[in-house]
């Protein structure tokens, strides 16, 4: 390795570490803020932080239901914005958005546990999202997705920063989308019952594992050393 190449690699590594720290600190702080809002909101509404199901009627929440939907949409916008600012290309921006989302999600649960002792266990059911229908699943499932997002996001961002190539072709895109859709399906299979005021039952973990496997294979095919220069 020539001195020039070594200096360039060192500079790229420093820039990567700086970006990773900035994205991580932002996501952890954002998770703190959002978990605090959830604790305050449930206290203001007189709800037990540990009781999520059955869902309350939207009419009982008044304008809070619409505000909650807006809050979730704003969360995605903020995470995408930090990813956009941290990256310098479309792929790197997507990678940093994945890192931000995964870090935020993991620490959202961590801060909730600090503030309210919830969730008491990783198999505790949570209401994950409301758009366009309720998503529900045990806490370990979104955490597993978030760990994968952080890991693959950091890997892709580092490769791009070092001047390497991430092989994103039709098959990788199709695999990533298909895997994500299957995972989302596992979260929404009980949406009708939940909307009707029922309680979630056994989680379709086999569907979840199938979706994760498809997505992970797609990510590995784009990032494995044999396919790209580093």
d(CA 186, CA 218): 19
d(CA 218, CA 205): 20
Residue 225: per-residue pLDDT: 64
Residue 81: per-residue pLDDT: 96
The number of domains in the chain is 1
Tokens at residue 169, please?
Answer: 């072709």
Residue among 98, 119, 104, 127 at smallest CA distance from 188: 127
Residue 2: per-residue pLDDT: 61
Question: Does residue 229 carry a pLDDT above 50?
Answer: no
Tokens at residue 34, please?
Answer: 């959002």
DSSP 8-state class, residue 200: -
Question: Does residue 161 carry a pLDDT above 80?
Answer: yes
Q: Give the range of the structural domain holding residue 30, as residue numbers without chain letter.
A: 3-227
Q: What is the pLDDT of residues 60-96, one digit of tens each?
A: 455 666 777 788 889 999 999 999 999 999 999 999 9
Q: What is the pLDDT of residues 166-217, one digit of tens each?
A: 989 999 999 999 999 999 999 999 988 888 888 888 899 999 999 999 999 9
pLDDT band at 28 (very low <50, low <70, confident <90, very high): very high
The answer to whether 130 touches 136, Cβ cutoff 8 Å, is: no
Please state the pTM of the whole predicted model: 0.88
Residue among 183, 177, 174 at smallest CA distance from 212: 183
């Amino acid at each position: 390795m020539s001195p020039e190449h070594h200096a360039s690699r060192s500079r790229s590594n420093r820039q990567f570490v700086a970006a990773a720290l900035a994205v991580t600190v932002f996501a952890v702080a954002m998770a703190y803020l959002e978990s605090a809002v959830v604790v305050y909101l449930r206290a203001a509404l007189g709800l037990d932080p540990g009781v999520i199901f059955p869902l309350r009627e939207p009419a009982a929440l008044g304008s809070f239901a619409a505000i909650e939907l807006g809050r979730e949409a704003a969360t995605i916008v903020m995470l995408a914005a930090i990813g956009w600012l941290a990256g310098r290309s479309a792929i790197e921006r997507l990678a940093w958005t994945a890192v931000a989302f995964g870090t935020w999600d993991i620490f959202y649960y961590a801060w909730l546990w600090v503030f309210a002792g919830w969730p008491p266990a990783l198999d505790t059911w949570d209401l994950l999202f409301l758009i366009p229908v309720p998503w529900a699943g045990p806490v370990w499932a979104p955490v597993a997705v978030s760990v994968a997002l952080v890991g693959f996001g950091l890997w892709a961002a580092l490769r791009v920063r070092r001047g390497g190539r991430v092989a994103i072709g039709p098959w990788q895109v199709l695999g990533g989308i298909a895997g994500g859709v299957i995972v989302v399906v596992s979260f929404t299979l009980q949406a009708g019952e939940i909307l009707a005021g029922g309680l979630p039952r056994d989680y379709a973990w086999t569907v979840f594992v199938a979706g994760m496997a498809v997505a992970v294979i797609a990510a590995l095919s784009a990032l494995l050393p044999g396919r790209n220069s580093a």
